[in-house]
Amino acid sequence: MRDTSLLSLQKIFLSLLFIILIGGVFFIFRWYSQKGDRTRRLISWLRQPDRHPDWEVSGGERCGSAPFLIPTDGYIGYLWGDSFRPGHIHQGIDIFTRDSAGVTPVYAAHTGYLTRLPTWKSSLIIRVPQDPLDRARQIWTYYTHLADSNGESFILGSYPPGASEVYVEEGALLGYQGNYSGKEGSPVGVHLHFSIVKDDGTGRFLNELNIENTLDPSSYFGFSLNAADVKNRAPICPSEEDPS
């Protein structure tokens, strides 16, 4: 009787293990498929951008009555919630240019107060005292990769390292897209990484590297920029929706 009970428990354990294994395989397959589709489409655009100008967004323009301006020209290759590796979730959007580093302008998406920490070579953050979607809270808009592969900054001289609380209007020129990865000599593709960062409640911004500290940018720009919603299509304003 005891042997029969033990055999039953073993069968239950093996069944549960099999279910977990199948679930893990499905998760990994789904993760690679979604990432692969996005990457393949981005590579296709980077190789021949003139074939798909309708996949691009334009810096300084607004989608309908959205509260934010689009901060730069290019193709939105990666979205909020994308995963590049298990355990890592992308905290913002990446807008890739068709041009080389230092050419494509980056604009302020919303009026606010700009800060550049003394150690920041390629990054800026702008405090927005009243979130246009929730006036009771403060948010921050974060811009990075505004430097060349060696960390030579493309940020305007008006915003030197150590700049703090500099007032900027929406649409103000901040600098130019670059390919600085944070490590000299190891470039990334030329793009702007943009994210919307939460306030810590004491007037400071939270760590942008955690997706929990950022907000889905979709409602701020007037079209979906959430990886869970945007499948194999170009994320653009609905009035210019990509039919493919």
**Which CA distances in Å does 19 have to 10, 12, 53?**
14, 11, 45
Rounded Cα distance between 223 and 207, Å, is 25
Rounded Cα distance between 127 and 133, Å, is 15
24-33: pLDDT as tens digits: 333 333 433 4
In a domain, 74, yes or no: yes
In a domain, 9, yes or no: no
In a domain, 11, yes or no: no
In a domain, 172, yes or no: yes
63-78: pLDDT as tens digits: 999 999 999 999 999 9
109-133: pLDDT as tens digits: 999 999 999 999 999 999 999 999 9
Whether the pLDDT of residue 191 is over 60: the answer is: yes
Whether the pLDDT of residue 182 is over 50: the answer is: yes
In a domain, 228, yes or no: yes
Contact call for residues 104 and 72 (beta carbons, < 8 A): yes
* Confidence (pLDDT) at 6: 57
Domain that holds residue 150: 27-240
Residues above pLDDT 70, as percent of the chain = 82
Structural domains counted in the chain: 1
In a domain, 212, yes or no: yes
Cβ-based neighbours of 56, under 8 Å, separated by 6 or more:
49, 73, 74, 75, 98, 236
In a domain, 3, yes or no: no
In a domain, 134, yes or no: yes
Question: What are the phi and psi torsion angles at 164 (to 5°)?
Answer: -145, 130
Give the CATH number of the domain where residue 63 resides.
2.70.70.10
Q: Which two three-digit tokens encode residue 91?
A: 């905290």
